[in-house]
Amino acid sequence: MSLTGDPSSELLSRLADSVKEISGLPECRNVFKKTHGDLVRRIKLLSPMFEELKDNNEELSEEETKGFELLRTVLDSAKELLKSVVEGSKVYQTLQRDDIADKINQITEKIEAALGEIPYFKLNLSEEVQEQIELVHAQFRRAKGRQELQDHQLEVDLAIAQREKDPDRAILKRLSEKLHLQTVDDLKKESLAFHELVIASGGDPGDWFEKMSSLFKKLKDYVQTENPEIDSAEAGKGMIKHRSPVIPDDFRCPISLELMKDPVIVSTGQTYERSCIQKWLDAGHKTCPKTQQTLLHTALTPNYVLKSLIALWCESNGVELPKQPGACRSKIGSSMSDCDRAAVTTLLDKLGNGSLEQQRSAAGELRLLAKRNADNRVCIAEAGAVPLLVELLSSTDPRTQEHAVTALLNLSINDLNKGTIVNAGAIPDIVDVLKNGSMEARENAAATLFSLSVIDENKVAIGAAGAIPALIKLLCDGTPRGKKDAATAIFNLSIYQGNKARAVKAGIVPPLMRLLRDAGGGMVDEALAILAILAGHQEGKVAIGQVDPIPVLTEVIRTGSQRNRENAVAILWSLCTGDSQQLILAKQFGAEEALKELSESGTDRAKRKAGSILELLQRVDTAVNQS
């Protein structure tokens, strides 16, 4: 049944749009950089669920609609909070960091709760997407209530900078770097954000105004003193100039980032300035610059509604429309400015022909550039960086190797770059780094393999290259972060049937059982998720049955989270089906009582599995009584 125009379709579209808007937010450059980035990353991973449900054209039930409506409301709140953290005053947010951290945690808790209301198992989702959403839900569950480690140096520096009239310059330097207030442009943006705060307060900013104003002045004086190239008069002018109207994002061309005069719509539904998108198409591109989707056709449809809205906004704000579109000064991919392109070209020359130190430095710079934004990832790959970075994976210098594999990880975020990386023959070299590199290099190699394995055919190639034994080793001896990276990659690779057998033969089951029994190790969710996949494979079922799984599975069914109970009962069901010995063991370890409780209070899938096992147990009892 078509969903065009119906409530289910509109709801899913709004959810998908919310995720896209959150994904499109600028990188956070303040004290909340990590927390903000983690939340955005987790939200982005929800996108495949919405897109697949839209493509499946099936109506949502009342229960499903309720869950998705709750999630939509929470995502709208998340979008506003995340946007405010990116765009707000860095000084204010630093002084109010505890309150903002609480708000971020509240949003995390609400998203986790909303995901708990969505019955994934009832939705028409592919196994891969359902498993990805389950892992994302587990990530939100772990993040819920987690307190970020306090930055004690920041606490001390702030206290001294606020208390002393002329703080030590080393303290101001650290604060300037931590708050990302290091250039005249940073100062101008902070000044504007400061001004916005005063306006929003209705002219009565309260006690924080004096603290914030004093700290900002000290930082501004430090930045201007340390950067003699900054014209102080010009900087001062920037601090006091009247507010100019901020152009709404929807009115800016995604390519040039300038106000559109002649907006047109492409086949993906995105709107661009005509001259900019025409230049993109004339260069031979067949994709939408913003979404990277393939264009079904290259016809450009005038967006009269948006053009009218832009005209009204210009009239209301005293802004003149550009006289003519002119040359499109693109910020997208291969159309970066000559200066940017020259810088990338210089870095690539150092990668290919420089000394060891130059190669290390260039790889490090490309790593940071690729991490910064999507446009850089496209440009760097199109400039030919991938083969050079792949070559450096074999470098004898550990730091160069770390930079190279991490740069490839950052580049692989772009789906088109995934193909470029694989075609450059990177997989065997990444696996070699995973086996023999430093711990940081191994962790990032595992994360790169996970990123590449999103493409189904890459799952086969990565498994065939011998990645799974190396991932299992990282799972056993890695740092907490390394173990997470390894588990995520193994989970994704094991979606492919052939890799299940490879994982079992490589001995993955005993380490997973150790992680499962170590409740304080923080890996229970991942261990159960992987075991649940492997239990559906005959060799996996046999291997799990040989490591005394019944007691710990029964305990998880009795006391675990809903998702973990569901995975545990799925594993138990696989073990008990066709194996009377496992059924007898389940009965001996008290699984029956836990299964009865789960059949009443678990998820629908868990209830079904629990009911099936209880029926098998009943048959065993009947057979024993008859004999």
DSSP code of residue 330 = -
Q: What is the pLDDT of residue 471?
A: 96
Q: Within 13 Å, how many C-alpha atoms sit on residue 449's CB side?
A: 38
In this prediction, residues 534-557 reach a mean pLDDT of 91
pLDDT of res. 562: 84
Q: pLDDT tens-digit profile of 205-239?
A: 555 666 777 788 888 888 877 764 444 334 333 33
Amino acid identity, residue 522? G
CATH for 338-413? Answer: 1.25.10.10
How far apart are alpha carbons 525 and 556 in whole angstroms?
11
Among 57-61, 115-119, 610-614, where is mean pLDDT lowest?
57-61
Q: Return d(Cα 319, Cα 322) in angstroms, integer.
A: 9
Q: Where would I find the H helices in 318-355?
A: 338-353
Residue spans of alpha helices (H) in 227-303: 232-240, 274-282
Pick among 3.40.50.300, 3.40.309.10, 3.30.40.10, 3.40.190.290: CATH of 249-316: 3.30.40.10
**5 band by pLDDT with thresholds 50, 70 and 90:** very low
* Torsion of Cα atoms, 205 then 211 then 214 then 216, to 10°: -80
The top-scoring range by mean pLDDT among 83-87, 116-120, 410-414, 499-503 is 499-503
Q: How confident is the model at residue 363 (pLDDT cuts 50, 70, 90)?
A: very high
**What is the three-class DSSP state of 301?**
strand
Mean pLDDT of all residues belonging to the chain: 82
In this predicted model, what pLDDT tens digit does every residue of 72-84 receive, in sequence order? Answer: 999 999 999 998 8
What is the pLDDT averaged over residues 617-623? 75
Buried b / exposed e across 258-286, counting CB within 10 Å, b at 16+?
bbbbbbbbbebebbbbbbbbbbbbeeebe
Per-residue pLDDT tens for 146-186? 656 566 777 778 888 888 878 888 888 888 888 888 887 78
Eight-state DSSP code of residue 496: S
Radius of gyration of the chain from its Cα atoms, rounded to whole angstroms: 28
Report d(CA 271, CA 263) in Å as an integer: 6
Q: Output the CA angle 546-548-549, nearest 5 degrees.
A: 105
Give the strands of the sheet with 271-273, arranged side by side.
271-273, 263-265, 301-302
Q: pLDDT (tens digit, 9 = 90+) per residue, 589-598?
A: 888 888 999 8
84: tokens are: 């405010």
pLDDT tens-digit readout, 434-449: 999 999 999 999 999 9
- pLDDT, tens only, 321-356: 655 444 454 444 444 433 367 788 888 999 989 899
Tell me if residue 354 falls in helix, strand or coil.
Answer: coil
Tell me which DSSP letter residue 69 carries.
H
Q: Residue 227 gets which letter from DSSP?
A: -
The contacts of residue 359 (CB under 8 Å, 6+ apart) are: 350, 351, 392, 395, 397, 400
Domain boundaries defined on the chain = 7-143, 152-226, 249-316, 338-413
Q: What number of residues does the chain have?
A: 627
Above 90 in pLDDT, residue 470? yes
pTM of the model: 0.49
pLDDT of residue 3: 38
